[in-house]
Structures are given as C-alpha cells and as structure tokens.
Structure 1
Amino acid sequence: MSVFLAVALAHFLALLSPGPDFLMVVRSAARHPVRVALGVPAGIAIANGVYIALCLLGVATVLSQSAGLLMIVRIAGGLFLLWLGVMALRARRSDYAFLMQAAAAEPIERASSFWREAVIGFASGILNPKNLLFYLSLFSLVLTPEVAIAFKVGLGLWMVLVVFAWDALIVLVLSHGAVRMWFNRTVFYIDKFTGLVLGAIGAKIVHGAATHS
C-alpha cells in the first residue's frame, strides 16, 4: 500500500504540471464542445497505456534478471523525477504564457469529431518521450520479482484511468472561460508545489537505490 500511494501520488502530481498533453487538452476545451473535446483525454490515456504496457512487459522481464541493471534504472528514474522537480522550481512566469494564449477567447470550432480529437491526443502522448521516461522512473519502484504481476497491472490500469479522469475533468472545468482564466493564473504556484514533491520523491528513490547497492 505504501508503494502504491507513493507511485500514485507522484503520478497525479505530475499530471498537474503543464506540458504538451495539457496544452492539447486546454486548446481542445477552448475550441470544441465537451463531447468532442473529450476525445483528447481518451487519446492521451491510450498513449499512456501503451507506454505503461511497454514498461510492464518488456522492461520488467529484463530488469528481473539483472539486479545491477535494476539499480541503474531506479537511480536514473529517481534522477529524472528530481530533474522534473528542479525544472518546475526554476520556471518563470513567462514560461506559462502559452497557457494564457491557449485560453484566449477563440471561436468554437465544430468541424471536428471525438475520434479526430482522440487521434490528436494519442499523437501528443505517444510522441512525447518524457512520458516513457516518466513511467520508467515510476515503475522502478515496483519492477522487482517480489512484486506480484497483478499488482503491477492494477497499478498500470489505475494510472490510465486517472490520466483520462483528470484530463476529462480539465475539459469539463475549462469549458467555462472564467474558470479557465483563473486556473491559468494559479498554475504557476501549482507547478511549484508539484516540483517540490516530485523532487523529494526522486531524491528518496535515488537515496534508497544507492543505499541498497
């Protein structure tokens, strides 16, 4: 349970930090009706599911056969989370200008569909290499022979559902222009908080891997 809570918390906090996927969700919510814009969260969730499956199937098999390689992946994963935290803490207000631009008043475009937006969301998620690195870093905590495969699969399914639920919530909330502008004004502080927590989790992973090496 402690491992699940640690991984689930790091995963959710990472969702709060704005990035390419978040931008796609915001733009779709600003341009399309909710029923169409929900295609982007669906596509992003599927792309995340692909990366999670790769981590569980291919990487888990290789790592289970090499304690040294597992330690390296754990340290690399922890350093990546630590890097994400540092980047969030170093970000300036001007780095969030793209959110304000995406949230600017734009005409509703109806020349799209749920499936077209889903393809856009999938492309955004699958073409972002940081997603694979992020899941590798998270699953470094559970990619061991001692952890049951059912737990790993359940954790993966939980992450996919959380990705979709969070992005879908963003679409629903940001469909209201006033709420969207308020969120964009506060995202700077939200990102600072997530940076602190992700950095702390990354440092803990690195310290634990180095201690047991």
Structure 2
Amino acid sequence: MELSLISIFITVAIAHFLALLSPGPDFVLVVKSALKGNRKNAIGVALGIASANAVYIGLCLIGVGAILSASTSIMIALKVVGGLFLMYIAFHALKAPRSSYQNMAATSEGTERFSLISFSKEFITGFLSGILNPKNLLFYLSLFTVALTPEISLKFKILLGAWMTAIVFLWDVAIIYLLSNNNVRNKFTRMAFYIDKVTGAILGAIGFGIVKSVWTKQ
C-alpha cells in the first residue's frame, strides 16, 4: 500500500474512532441492552448498528449518499421517523414496572442462553437506531468527501469501509462484554431500574429534540 494511502487510512480511522467515543443514541442503546439483556442476545444490537453503518458507508462509496443528503424531504423523513423511534424505545423503558427488573441477577457465561428471537429483536432495534439516524449518513459522507478523492481505487474504499464497519461492531461488543461482566453487572443490578429509566429518558429526550428541531424549521 502506498504511503499516501496509508496516511489516508490512518487519518480516516482515527477520525472515525474519535466519533465512536462521542456518546449518542446508539451508545445509549448498547448500554441499555447490555445491562438489561443477555450478553449473547445483546450482541444483536451491536450487529444491527454495525449493519446500518455498513449500509450508509456503502451508499456513500457508490455516490448515493450524496443524493440522499441533498434531498430535504428524505432527510426530514429520516429525522422524524428516527426521533419517533427513539421516543418509542423510551416509552417502553419508562413504563416498565419495577418487578421486571427483579430477576436480573447476572448469570455466568456458561449459563447464558442464546435466543434467536431475542437476538433478532435486538438486531432490528440496533439496525433501526443506526439507519434512522441521519447523522450517521452525514458523518460518513463528509468524511469520505474530505478524505477520499476520485483517484483512490474502489478496492481501497471498500477496505476502508469494511474496517470502519468492523470497528463499530467490535467497539459495541466490547462495551457489551464490559457491562455484562458478572462483577460489573452485579453492581448495577440494584440500580438497573433507575439506569433503565435514565437511559430511556435520554433516548426520549434525544428523539423529542430531533422531532422538535424538524418542526421548528418548518
């Protein structure tokens, strides 16, 4: 790989990772799933979020991302639906009774059971969270516009896209494994009810803010 391409790769990789460190609705969703759900099933959220990022990365690489971002109606629709989706998640978190948190004692890794249905639900939730967040599209579009010129080969762009998708997934999985660790999770069990309410409130506030911003601009 040429030195210039290595420099571009490192620059984009660092910018992308720094963006991951900035907490957003996806991060809050991962934390919520890791603390309340089964570790193996919670990975579905990480896979869903990574898949949504992969879709936007692919769209940006083939030029569709620029078309979507230029469409005011599409961006407004994404914001409204995305905001309502976050508010929907928040509603269910806030209305959950205290009794539903009483059996959250951490289980050992060997006794965790994988459920395809639960995993699929987590995947869909993660995917919708990522795909309905227009900031993801705008981030990748701006990043690729600045860093990737037409002269750069498609092979390199695909490699870069695959790297970023993998990093999104691995970062979220790392968070899930950290928070679902028995020692860590046992400490959070007594506070799970309040943590879920706080994360739900945060997601709801973010969703409401998104919808409100669209409404006030009309």
- CA, structure 1 residues 18+136, in 2 after alignment: closer, same or farther (shift >3 Å)? same
Partner residue in 2 for 1:13: 18
SS in 2 for 1:132: helix
How far does residue 120 in structure 1 lie from its aligned partner after superposition? Answer: 0.3
Q: CA contact under 8 A between 2:130 and 2:136: conserved in structure 1?
A: yes
RMSD: 3.1
Partner of 2:104: 108
1:29 maps to a residue whose letter is A
TM-score by length of structure 1 reads 0.59
1:1-213 alignment to 2 at 5 Å?
Answer: 1-59=6-64, 106=101, 107-108=103-104, 113-176=118-181, 179=184
TM-superposition CA deviations, 1:111-162 (whole Å, max 9, x none): 9611110000001000111100111121113432211111101000000000
Asked whether the equivalents of residues 65 and 137 of structure 2 are also in contact (C-alpha less than 8 Å), the reply is no
TM superposition score normalised by structure 2: 0.58
Q: CA, structure 1 residues 135+60, in 2 after alignment: closer, same or farther (shift >3 Å)?
A: closer
Contact 1:60 1:143 in 2 (8 A): no
CA deviation string 1:65-118 (max 9, x = no partner):
xxxxxxxxxxxxxxxxxxxxxxxxxxxxxxxxx9xx99xxx4539996111100
> Shift in Å at residue 61 of structure 1?
9.2
Moved more, 1-10 or 172-181: 172-181
Alpha-carbon spacing, 1:60–1:46, altered in 2? closer, same or farther (3 Å): closer
Cα distance, 1:177 vs structure 2: 7.3
> Where in structure 2 are there 5+ consecutive unaligned residues?
1-5, 68-89, 95-100, 106-112, 189-218
- The equivalent residue for 2:205 is none
Separation in 2 of the partners of 1:119 and 1:61? 25
Unpaired segments ≥5 residues, structure 1:
63-97, 183-213
